[in-house]
Every structure is written in C-alpha cells, then in structure tokens.
Amino acid sequence: MLIPSDPLPVDPNPALARVLAYWKEAAQCAAPEALPRLRHIDLMDLHDIAPQLMIADIVRDQPGRLRYRWRFWGTHLAQFFGIELTGRFIDEAYTPGAAEEVSAAYGWAVENKAPHFWVRRADNPDHLVFERLICPLHGQTMDTVDHLFGIITFIGSEKTHLLQPVRLGDRRLSFSGVKSE
C-alpha cells in the first residue's frame, strides 16, 4: 500500500517552502543526478529550523521490504509528539496502524522519487494539526533512494507557537482535515 502525496499548498508556510527550495537547490548541485544525496544536505544551512527537521534512513533488511529509521529527529518534533525518535524504526515507535500509514507515505516518496506532503492531526490531547514534507535522497547509486529529508510544521493552539518560530500562513481547521484558505 502506498499513500499518494497531498497537493503541495499554493502558499506553503515559510519553513516548509524553505526546505523544499533547499532540496531543489541540492538536486541542482547534484546534477546530472535527478535527486540530491545525503551529503548535499547540511543541517547547519537550516540551523534555525533544524529542531523541526528529520532525516530517515531506508533499511532494506529483506527483499521487497523497506524499514525507516530516523537518523535525525529534531527537538521540537520530540517535544510536539512526546517521543524521541532518533535511532528508532517507525515500526518500533508507532502503533501498527500509524506505522503502516507513515511507511506507506514514505514508500510513495521512495517509489516516485518525489517529495511527499500531507496534513494530519496529531494524536495528542489538543489534536493539533501538523504539515509534513519529506523529500527523497539518493543513496550509493542513482537507482535507489536510501534517505528521506523533511520538515514538520505545526498549526494550532498557542502551544505550537513556541514550537514554530515562523508564520504558518492562514489555515482553517475542519473536523475532516485542514483546508487552505
């Protein structure tokens, strides 16, 4: 099962737009490759939003099976979700249903060699909303995607303003999801 990307917002929040632009610039530097490699990503270039960034390694431990282990999980992500994930696998850290959903979204980015965007409600007492963008990175060869690089930004209550230092843009929340204005 793969979960396709939601359409990228026309007016993405500044942090998300910055990560997408950084990934595209890294891809241009990696030319003639279609995707950048992990070595083209320097978190110090994005130090002010690094607490919201993540990098996942793709582990192929069995034929046809991909597992995702976070190499880097920003401090704001750990605070927001209430769990430190650096060094952990998705299937070890999430409930089975959530692990399947996140893995299916990550799998789409790997298969399509394209960024994946979604908007979701967090399973926390405030049911706060977050946007997540992940971008694929080539590994040892140009044939495989071995890493994912991305950002999670937060939309919601006053608590999230401490986690999100930049303007998120105007969004309207609904029970079924998040609608852009």
Among 67-71, 79-83, 142-146, name the one with the lowest average pLDDT.
79-83
Q: What are phi and psi of 47, to 5 degrees?
A: -55, -35
What would the pLDDT profile of 30-70 be if each residue is shown by its tens digit? 777 789 999 999 999 999 999 999 999 999 988 888 999 99
The contacts of residue 160 (CB under 8 Å, 6+ apart) are 80, 128, 154
pLDDT at position 49 is: 95
Q: Is the pLDDT of residue 175 over 60?
A: no
Residue extents of the structural domains in the chain: 14-176
pLDDT at position 66 is: 94
Cα atoms in the 13 Å half-sphere on the side-chain side of 176:
2
Peptide bond connecting 7 to the previous residue in cis, omega within 30 degrees of 0: no
Topology of the domain comprising 14-176: Beta-Lactamase (3.30.450)
Q: What is residue 147's three-state secondary structure?
A: strand
Q: Cα separation of 166 and 117, whole Å?
A: 19
What would the pLDDT profile of 114-133 be if each residue is shown by its tens digit? 999 998 876 655 666 789 99
